[in-house]
């Protein structure tokens, strides 16, 4: 079991509070980047800025073994932090911006792990890449830019951890395979032909077409997806019309869909298109050419997050032997994370860490203006990262088995 001395634990707690006081929104993490660089300089760890406001660093061990990456996100949210009984000493100094998703804690944990690794580098069988990534919260996200900047060069595997305020303190949760979803926003624009309600034969009604689309799309998707595939599609906005007795020219339907498999996500897009093609034919009139027409915009988003099965199996065994509360069969969830982009390139594991503590009044879920974490979760997270890092560098084979 890896032990952390009190000096390191309080250093990490102070770092978390510094990051919490100076939160910066996605792609604007300039002071945060400066702070990370300052800390790495103090530790004597090689680093370079990357991906705009990110940082790539490496701790070189003595051995010539594998390289594992530890990733943290850096960005905060545009939320005004509430005053709570706990956060008086470290509430956000930046109006309207708040570390409400725990990324302050993630940075502090990776820097804590970095300090321990640097102090123990003589005994490391390989190397450790440290990835400080901007902009997890806003698609297209910062992971792509970090990968383009070479953060995975020479990397054999990757791990990441996310703190959740609604999970009990110190619980570690994950599952092999699909763990988080891909979420995509879609906008359907339907063009009809406007006209007075007294002459319906001369107009094409986009509202009726939108209504038919909303009514039939779920059935059409089910006809095309494997019945075991899990997905949700929801509507968030329907907009059309200005005048009670006039058929409008256009209707818009906006929504999101989430799935655990990229192929399912593509199937949903093709089902939406096929449905709309059918509606265009059904509502066409011989005397009105070129209408109705539609446009579908389905924005690319984060891919589904898939934990590598072999890596996760080995990690589960190792974590269970070192920690008392490990759930390696956690239910998949329909949240989305750009850590998924790294897992498309190298095997690895993304785990959740409980930071809630009802006894201390810490119960708010991430993205709440009252979100906080029990800082006792930080040493647990660091130990989990270090336990897996060490074991991977000493015994990479079971992690990388195909």
Cβ of residue 219: shortest distance to Zn ion, in angstroms? 33
| Closer Cβ to Zn ion, 292 or 354, answer by number | 354
Cis peptide before 140 (omega within 30 of 0): yes
Cβ of residue 16: shortest distance to Zn ion, in angstroms? 14
| Segment lying near Zn ion (by CB under 5 A), choices 98-106, 139-147, 289-297, 313-321 | 98-106
Dihedral angle over CA of 132, 135, 140, 142, nearest 10:
-20
Place of tokens 């990968």: 147
Cβ of residue 126: shortest distance to Zn ion, in angstroms? 28
Task: Tell whether residue 55 is a contact of Zn ion (CB under 5 A).
Answer: no
Q: How many residues at the interface with Zn ion, by CB under 5 A? A: 1
Q: Smallest Cα–Cα separation from 50: which of 40, 62, 60, 64?
A: 40
Rounded CA-CA distance 171/154 in Å is: 31
Cβ of residue 307: shortest distance to Zn ion, in angstroms? 17
Task: Tell whether residue 163 is a contact of Zn ion (CB under 5 A).
Answer: no
Active site residues: 302, 375
What phi and psi values does residue 247 have, to the nearest 5 degrees?
-70, 125
| Closer Cβ to Zn ion, 59 or 353, answer by number | 353
| Closer Cβ to Zn ion, 55 or 101, answer by number | 101
Task: Tell whether residue 167 is a contact of Zn ion (CB under 5 A).
Answer: no
Q: What is the CA radius of gyration of the chain?
A: 25
| Segment lying near Zn ion (by CB under 5 A), choices 40-48, 99-107, 231-239, 321-329 | 99-107
CB-based contact 17:90 (threshold 8 Å): yes
Rounded CA-CA distance 276/274 in Å is: 5
Cβ of residue 79: shortest distance to Zn ion, in angstroms? 10
| Segment lying near Zn ion (by CB under 5 A), choices 4-12, 94-102, 146-154, 299-307 | 94-102
User: What token pair was written down for 92?
Assistant: 């956000």
CA distances in angstroms from 184 to 27, 77, 340, listed in the order given: 21, 20, 14
| Closer Cβ to Zn ion, 102 or 145, answer by number | 102
Task: Tell whether residue 101 is a contact of Zn ion (CB under 5 A).
Answer: yes
Q: Rule CB under 5 A: which of 370-389 touch Zn ion?
A: none
| Segment lying near Zn ion (by CB under 5 A), choices 32-40, 100-108, 126-134, 278-286 | 100-108
Task: Tell whether residue 336 is a contact of Zn ion (CB under 5 A).
Answer: no
Dihedral angle over CA of 90, 96, 101, 105, nearest 10:
-30
Rounded CA-CA distance 204/287 in Å is: 11
Cβ of residue 164: shortest distance to Zn ion, in angstroms? 9
| Closer Cβ to Zn ion, 79 or 111, answer by number | 79
| Closer Cβ to Zn ion, 104 or 264, answer by number | 104
Rounded CA-CA distance 311/319 in Å is: 12
**Which residue is at the shortest CB distance from Zn ion?**
101
Which letter does DSSP use for residue 27 in this model?
A: T
Q: Smallest Cα–Cα separation from 314: which of 263, 262, 363, 387?
A: 387
Dihedral angle over CA of 24, 30, 33, 39, nearest 10:
-90
Q: Rule CB under 5 A: which of 232-261 touch Zn ion?
A: none
Residues binding Zn ion (CB under 5 A): 101
């Amino acid at each position: 079991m890896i032990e952390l001395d009190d000096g390191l634990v309080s250093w990490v707690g102070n770092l978390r509070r510094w990051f919490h006081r100076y939160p910066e929104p996605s792609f604007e993490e300039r002071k945060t980047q400066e702070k990370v660089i300052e800390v790495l300089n103090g530790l004597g760890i090689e680093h370079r800025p990357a991906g705009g406001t990110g940082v790539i660093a490496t701790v070189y061990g003595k051995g010539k073994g594998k390289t594992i990456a530890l990733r943290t996100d850096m960005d905060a949210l545009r939320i005004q932090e509430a005053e709570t009984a706990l956060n008086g000493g470290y509430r956000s100094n930046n109006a309207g911006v708040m570390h409400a998703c725990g990324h302050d804690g993630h940075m502090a944990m990776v820097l804590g792990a970095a300090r321990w690794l640097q102090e123990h580098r003589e005994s490391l069988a390989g190397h450790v890449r440290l990835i400080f990534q901007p902009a997890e919260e806003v698609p297209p996200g910062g992971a792509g830019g970090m990968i383009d900047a070479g953060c995975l060069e020479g990397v054999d595997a990757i791990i990441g951890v996310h703190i959740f305020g609604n999970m009990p303190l110190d619980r570690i949760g994950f599952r092999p395979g699909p763990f988080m979803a891909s979420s995509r926003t879609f906008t359907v624009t339907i063009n009809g032909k406007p006209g007075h309600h007294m002459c319906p034969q001369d107009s094409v009604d986009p509202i009726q077409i939108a209504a038919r689309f909303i009514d039939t799309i779920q059935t059409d998707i089910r006809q095309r997806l494997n019945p075991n595939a899990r997905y949700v599609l929801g509507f968030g906005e329907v907009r059309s019309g200005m005048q009670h007795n006039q058929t409008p020219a256009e209707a818009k339907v906006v929504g999101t869909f989430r799935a655990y498999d990229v192929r399912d996500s593509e199937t949903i897009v093709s089902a939406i298109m096929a449905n709309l093609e059918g509606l265009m034919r059904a509502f066409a009139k011989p005397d009105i050419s070129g209408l109705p027409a539609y446009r579908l915009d389905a924005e690319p988003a984060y891919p589904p997050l898939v934990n590598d099965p072999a890596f996760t199996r080995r990690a589960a065994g190792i974590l269970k032997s070192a920690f008392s509360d490990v759930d390696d069969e956690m239910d998949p969830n329909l949240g989305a994370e750009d850590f998924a982009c790294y897992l498309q390139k190298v095997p690895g594991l993304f785990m959740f860490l409980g930071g809630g503590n009802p006894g201390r009044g810490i119960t708010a879920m991430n993205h709440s203006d009252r979100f906080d974490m029990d800082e006792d979760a930080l040493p647990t997270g660091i130990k989990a990262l270090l336990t897996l890092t060490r074991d991977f560098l000493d015994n990479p084979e079971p992690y990388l088995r195909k």
